[in-house]
Amino acid sequence: MDIVVTNGTVVTATETYEADIGIEKGKIAALGRGLGGVETIDAQGNYVFPGAIDVHTHFELPSMGTISADDFQTGSIAAACGGTTTFIDFADQGKGESLHRALEIRLERAEGKVAIDYGFHVAIGDMTDEVMNVEMAELVEQGVASFKLYMAYKGTYMVDDETLFKSLLKAKELGALIIVHAENGDLLHYLINKHVAEGKKEPIWHARSHPPEAEAEAAGRAIILAALAEAPIYIAHVSAAQALEKVKGARDKGQPVLAETCPQYLLFNTEHYKLPNFEGAKYVISPPLREKGNGELLWQGLISGDLQVVSTDHCPFNFVGQKDRGRDDFSKIPSGMPGVETRVPLLYHFGVNEGRFSINRFVELVSTNPARLFGLAPQKGTISIGSDADLVIFDPRKEVRLSVENLHMNVDYSPYEHITVRGYPVLVMQRGRVIVKDGQFVGEVGAGQFLKRRRIAI
């Protein structure tokens, strides 16, 4: 063996056992006891998880006249430090642009900068005959197994129901997955304008302009269209319990509806918008944080299986110089927050340490299900012979305060500043190379590989 990770407790979505992991040419080549290798890494007393996968990031995303603060380099390094070895970002098609061009722009931006493996979902913003009849199929051939449709952001990326329905039909034919941002864009557009016109401009009005009903209505509509198209559908960043109810209702009837949530919706609520000194702007995200008590219902969704994935929607903007553009008007606050580095430790701490679910379910939510649903299994998302040696050695005793000075994300605040988690990655490997050691990135910028994702079978 080239490398052997010894004495660790291996954790997958289904099993927990003591074993050495033998690695050859970047792949897992043996699992067992007493393996010998050229190099040995001792994982005594620690867990060994498959590298985590974040299927929802927005690195260097142009938005509202600015750009998200993490580029592909800083963002992917931060991801690695938090135990994530693969991310899937987005390529958003503008009006008059081809899907190929949209993807090309993002691939060019990422080129030479990405420190971990990655892929892209392509967002359809302009559904032409060429997109429907030619491009979607070509992209699936190129390894893009998922497309996103925005039901919100009227005037930019929002699509009508005809576009969504056509996309669902085509995706079904191609074996691709449709992801929706489910909020009723017409309603949001009306409410935002109304509140701004009435002088209601504090950050709390962001939440009041994005009511949970707008999310539930759009999720329900998307689910019905998916049922008519007989296509699977994936609801991004479920934040409102009312939307989760729509997911659950469809799943109970056997419809292939899949959904994710994000740590911020599990842990925070609308009270954060009322923080003094405009600090509420740090939590302006879309969909917004919900009322107290809503988060516990989302945890229940993770426990029951109605939610299968925890992603981040990582889209950071600095408090000074970006978020503060909206000091006098919530509608000018760039929407999004950091999270790519903190997802794994937060979910372990609040999920496993607090007894909400098992360590196996935790691995399933952050790694195995994302790999399975987005065409990366079994190369990613598990520890088995032949899989990539993407491993996280995780010390369940290590305590880290998630303050801005302890994190690597390129943003001037941490939403989790006062939270100390117990359990943290101490070593991260990608394809057999150590890329993070003792909290520092030691990998190679540009070594991340673009992943051709398979068609899905749901």
β-strands 84-92, 309-310 pairing: unpaired
Cα separation of 149 and 152, whole Å?
A: 9
Q: What is the closest distance, in whole angstroms, from the C-beta atom of residue 311 to Zn ion in the complex?
A: 9
Using the minimum distance from each CB to Zn ion, give the nearer residue, 70 or 313.
313
Beta bridge mates, 299: none
| Residue 183 is a binding residue for Zn ion (CB under 5 A) | no
| Residue 92 is a binding residue for Zn ion (CB under 5 A) | no
Site for Zn ion in 404-423 (CB under 5 A): none
| Residue 54 is a binding residue for Zn ion (CB under 5 A) | no
Contact status, residue 266 vs residue 366, Cβ threshold 8 Å: no
| Residue 313 is a binding residue for Zn ion (CB under 5 A) | yes
Cα separation of 449 and 86, whole Å?
A: 9
Longest dimension (CA), the chain: 71
Q: Sign of dihedral through CA atoms 293, 296, 297, 298?
A: positive
Q: Looking at 131-139, 149-157, 307-315, 393-401, which segment touches Zn ion (CB under 5 A)?
A: 307-315
Residue nearest Zn ion by beta-carbon distance: 313
Q: Looking at 306-314, 327-335, 359-367, 389-397, which segment touches Zn ion (CB under 5 A)?
A: 306-314
Using the minimum distance from each CB to Zn ion, give the nearer residue, 202 or 313.
313
| Residue 89 is a binding residue for Zn ion (CB under 5 A) | no
Beta bridge mates, 47: 9, 394
Q: How many CB atoms lie within 10 A of CB 30?
A: 15
User: How many angstroms separate the Cα of 177 from the Cα of each of 123, 170, 253?
Assistant: 12, 10, 20
Q: Looking at 98-106, 261-269, 301-309, 312-320, which segment touches Zn ion (CB under 5 A)?
A: 312-320
Q: What is the closest distance, in whole angstroms, from the C-beta atom of residue 392 to Zn ion in the complex?
A: 24
* 3-class DSSP state of 52: strand
Q: What is the closest distance, in whole angstroms, from the C-beta atom of residue 265 to Zn ion in the complex?
A: 13
Q: What is the closest distance, in whole angstroms, from the C-beta atom of residue 313 to Zn ion in the complex?
A: 4
**Residue 325 phi/psi, 5° resolution?**
-60, -20
Q: What is the closest distance, in whole angstroms, from the C-beta atom of residue 285 to Zn ion in the complex?
A: 9
| Residue 215 is a binding residue for Zn ion (CB under 5 A) | no
| Residue 135 is a binding residue for Zn ion (CB under 5 A) | no
Contact status, residue 273 vs residue 247, Cβ threshold 8 Å: no
- Given the rule CB under 5 A, which residues bind Zn ion? 313
